[in-house]
Amino acid sequence: MDKIIYLDHAATTPVRPEVLDAMLPYFTEKYGNPSGIYTFASKNRNDVNAARDIIASSIGAKPEEIYFTGGGSESDNWALKSVAEAYGNKGKHIITTKIEHHAILHTCEYLQKRGYEVTYLDVDERGVVDISSLKAAIRPDTILISVMFANNEIGTIEPVREIGRLAKSHGIIFHTDAVQAYGQLPIDVDDLNIDMLSSSGHKFNGPKGVGFLYVRSGIRIGSFIHGGQQERGRRAGTENVPGIIGIGKAAEIAISSLDERMVKETHLRDHLIKRLISEIPYTRLNGHESRRLPNNVNVSFQFIEGETILIMLDMAGICASAGSACTSGSVDPSHVLTAIGLPSEIAHGSVRFTLGYENTMEEIDYVADRVVEIVEKLRNMSPMYQDFIRRNRC
Ligand SMILES: *Cc1c(COP(=O)(O)O)cnc(C)c1O
């Protein structure tokens, strides 16, 4: 195979051709600033608002509850910092989990340095947040609960409905980082009692550098970027018009193709899991078996290094990731794999494959064949494995 097989969709996804086509005119012919009063510009304002309508209706929200941002990290930063600032006089306690993306964890650390207290909830061995420990963590001064919708490394889907219900009954704001879930799972913010939600275009076949933050009306948040009146004065700066048109188109396609993609990707996912687990001994699946993103496969191969597997997969034209893209290159095992209790020597042998709409069964079988070969080859060179086999023989 000459072409690459891309199985790293949790890191980023290709822009769909229809999305690019929708965006292109806004770089050239339709370049007007949406704030302008002449028709040439105000048409762009309408088009930006049409994208806002699509996004709003995709999660059961109102258009005025959607703010366009520069991506998932910005949405997460804005959500946490704005609630801390606006509600800091009510209390200074925030609850989150140990398995959040760094956009949440590092923002929490920033807030801790500024006098906020953060509780980091444990998860069980499949990565699920325990509702009773969440209940126990709630205090009179808790102002925010931020729990991700689904984890980017191991794919576990969190009990968002129960968390939303609990937050609501205590009058606490509930934010969810839905960067991995949006466009992969159906989401209704009213049904699930979500008050704030982060999403990012490039994770669902839209462009990079554009995302959105949903903020339930009634929640007081301040301006994140000060300046002009864009995004109702809360996020100043001339709108990223091509990006916003692109994320709107990507959302439209993601929602209309959701059911079909969920079925297809779940089928490919389960086929890959089954082949890897049944054909390679001393291999485990990380994350939950069923409460799992349709596109996520995360496995640990004992006795060998995930990084080495990735290099060999790369030589076979296969793109995958070890733990999470942000942590690869570092020597510590990922914080998520540590949180589910994996001993570091097993965590080090982990590989994440994340599928997308363009993957085929033929590709999945090719990948499974290569992984089987690579793991066998590496284990044959591993003194740890040889030693293990020798000891188990006698
Ligand atoms: C990718 C990702 C982010 C960051 O999104 P960017 O648009 O890359 O800033 C945040 N949270 C999760 C769960 C992610 O997967």
Nearest CA to ligand 1 atom 3: 72
Amino acid code (one letter) for 348: H
- Helix and strand counts by DSSP (H, E) for the chain: 13, 12
Residue 179 beta carbon below 6 angstroms from any ligand 1 atom: yes
Encoded tokens for 240:
């990223």
Nearest CA to ligand 1 atom 5: 72
The Cα 326–Cα 206 span in angstroms is: 20
Query: What was the pLDDT predicted at 337?
Result: 97
Q: Which residues contact 12 (CB under 8 A, 6 or more apart)?
A: 202, 203, 208
Query: Whose structure tokens read 């284990």?
Result: 379
Rounded to 5 degrees, φ, ψ at 129 are -70, 135
Q: How many Cα atoms occupy the beta-carbon half-sphere of 381 within 13 Å?
A: 9
Residue 152 beta carbon below 6 angstroms from any ligand 1 atom: yes
Ligand 1 atom nearest the C-alpha of 10 is 15
pLDDT at 175 over 50: yes
Q: Which residues contact 209 (CB under 8 A, 6 or more apart)?
A: 70, 71, 201, 202, 240, 243
Distance 28 CA to ligand 1 centre (A): 29
Encoded tokens for 345:
């020597």
Tell me: the pLDDT tens digits for 120-172? 999 999 999 999 999 999 999 999 999 999 999 999 999 999 999 999 999 99
The Cα 321–Cα 350 span in angstroms is: 9
User: Among 57-61, 304-308, 361-365, 385-389, which is the least confidently predicted range?
Assistant: 385-389
Residue 167 beta carbon below 6 angstroms from any ligand 1 atom: no
Query: What was the pLDDT predicted at 102?
Result: 97
- Which of 97, 146, 200 has most ligand 1 atoms within 8 Å of its beta carbon, as the pocket-test mutant? 200
- Going by C-alpha positions, the residue among 297, 286, 291 that lies closest to residue 338 is 286
CB 15 within 8 A of CB 206: yes
Tell me: the pLDDT tens digits for 208-245? 999 999 999 999 999 999 999 999 999 999 999 999 99
Q: Order of strands, edge to edge, in the sheet holding 66-69?
A: 66-69, 211-215, 196-200, 173-177, 142-146, 93-97, 117-121
Q: Which of the four pLDDT bands, split at 50, 70 and 90, describes residue 19?
A: very high
The Cα 35–Cα 182 span in angstroms is: 29
163-198 as b/e: b if 16+ CB within 10 A:
bbebbeeeebbbbbbbbbbbbbbebebeebbbbbbb
User: Among 1-10, 114-123, 237-246, 276-285, which is the least confidently predicted range?
Assistant: 1-10
3-class secondary structure, 327: coil
pLDDT at 14 over 60: yes
- Residues forming the active site: 326
Query: What was the pLDDT predicted at 393?
Result: 78
Query: What was the pLDDT predicted at 194?
Result: 98
Q: Which of the four pLDDT bands, split at 50, 70 and 90, describes residue 384?
A: confident
Distance 102 CA to ligand 1 centre (A): 9
Crossing angle between the packed helical segments 241-256 and 258-279, to the nearest 10 degrees: 70
- Going by C-alpha positions, the residue among 163, 150, 156 that lies closest to residue 193 is 163
Tell me: the pLDDT tens digits for 286-338? 999 999 999 999 999 999 999 999 999 999 999 999 864 444 555 788 999 99
Rg (CA), the chain: 22
Residue 293 beta carbon below 6 angstroms from any ligand 1 atom: no
The Cα 288–Cα 47 span in angstroms is: 41
Q: Which residues contact 7 (CB under 8 A, 6 or more apart)?
A: 318, 319, 320, 353, 354, 355, 359, 367
Q: What percent of the chain has pLDDT over 90?
A: 93
